[in-house]
Amino acid sequence: MNNIEKYSELIAKYLAGEITPGEEQELFAWTEADAANQKFFDETVEIWSLAEGAADTPFEADLTKAWANIETGIGTSATSNTQTSAKIIPLSKIVWRWSAAAAILLLAAAGLWWMNRGVEAPQLVEIQTFDKEKKEIVLPDSSHIWLNENSKLVYDQKFEKRRVTLEGEAFFEVERLVERPFEILSGDATTTVLGTSFNVRAYPTEDKIEVTVKTGKVALAVTKQVEKSVTLDAGESGVFDKKEDKVKVAETVISNADAWKTARLDFDEALVRDIILALERYFDVQIEVSNPMILDCHYSANFSQPALPAALENLAFGLGLELEKTDGGYLLSGKGCLPDQ
């Protein structure tokens, strides 16, 4: 008896409640030894549960004919290979030991098991960046991805379905293929595009996932509710709040979302609250204010290859503020501004 016949009988005994403790121990040792064995067992149990009660259906006459056809088919298949000397176990014996329903289920699961063993596992490409490391990636469809530091991108090498998984931050320039949308899976959020350029920030340690569109259109959705996506146009940002488990269009575009890629910080009458956020992200530093009204001031400046001290000194001088280095980062203090009316 070969393994599939042996363990099919043990599974049938298990499902029928007729398995001995020793046989049960042997069965579960077999499932733990190979993932394919476990899959075979799980699929058999699932089919059994779906068809439970089928044995009570009066179909004796049809079963007799069906078993005869199956036995004939298996006998022909086994004897057609002159190199095979495996012993054939008459199916009638299996039916005699257990219910017809159990035997049919085992045959169905066995077919699934043998088919699945021949399926080639997907070959995944994984690209990882670390501190102060960035990478440019060209995908099989000619789309470009720039990966920020401490980020990871994963995709199927064949790329038959345009889908990638992102942890961290990346800027995308996606080739337009109307019949093949491009998807980015980031935690519980899904970003879907046809052809556009945009930035995705999706670090697992942060409470939000942010998408900022530079050109084209992007759909952002909770993965399990893709039909409730929000559409983002060029110049808009979308946010997925992990705690609230929902997506929304940001009231204002996220300032300098792709500064890590362009090495530029551009502020045009921007609120200081937005400038501080952009500086904190770019330099990975904490910046505080002594007076909350400072956050309501506006400022304009452009920095190419920016350096943190110079950028902060420029901001402090332009607004008449004091800049102080602290243990945790920097502190801006002084007179603030009235909020926009």
Q: Which domains does the chain have, with CATH numbers?
A: 3-117 (no CATH), 124-249 (2.60.120.1440), 263-333 (3.55.50.30)
The pLDDT, as a whole number, for residue 43 is 79
Question: What pLDDT is recorded for position 89?
Answer: 44
Q: Identify the weakest region by mean pLDDT among 48-52, 66-70, 113-117, 194-198.
A: 66-70
Task: List the alpha helices (DSSP H) in the chain.
Answer: 3-16, 21-33, 35-50, 60-79, 91-97, 100-117, 259-262, 272-283, 308-319
Instruction: Give the CA distances from residue 59 to residues 56, 65, 95, 100, in Å, rounded to whole numbers and listed in that order.
Output: 9, 10, 14, 10
Which whole-number Å values give the CA distances from 173 to 146, 151, 195, 228, 236, in the listed order?
9, 17, 7, 24, 16
Higher pLDDT, 51 or 314: 314
pLDDT tens digits for range 67-86: 455 445 444 444 444 443 34
Q: Summarize pLDDT for 240-263 with one digit per residue, the tens.
A: 999 999 999 999 899 999 999 999
The pLDDT tens digits for 137-147 are 999 999 999 99
Residue 266 backbone phi and psi in degrees, to 5: -120, 120
Secondary structure of 168-221 as H, E, C letters: EEEEEECCCCCCCCEEEEECCEEEEECCCEEEEEECCCCCEEEEEEEECEEEEE
9-13, 41-45, 65-69: segment of lowest average pLDDT: 65-69
What six digits make up the tokens of 239?
Answer: 């946010």
What pLDDT shows up at residue 95?
46
Token couple for 280: 């904190």
Tell me the residue type at 179: E
Structure tokens at 75: 């006998």
d(CA 303, CA 327) in angstroms, rounded, equals 25
Distance, CA of 40 to CA of 300 (rounded, Å): 65
Predicted pLDDT of residue 58: 44
CB count, 10 Å around CB of 319? 17
The reported pLDDT for the residue numbered 57 is 44
pLDDT digits (tens, 9 = 90+) for 146-191: 999 999 999 999 999 999 999 999 999 999 998 899 999 999 999 9
Contact yes or no for 150/131 (Cβ under 8 A) = yes
Distance CA 308, CA 283 (A): 7
Q: What is the pLDDT of residue 319?
A: 95
pLDDT at 62 (0 to 100): 47
Q: Is the dihedral of CA 176, 181, 185, 190 positive or negative?
A: positive
Of 337, 336, 309, give the one whose Cα is nearest residue 323.
309
Rg value, the chain, Cα: 31
Q: Band the pLDDT of 50: cuts 50, 70, 90.
A: low
Q: Residue 201 pLDDT > 70, yes or no?
A: yes
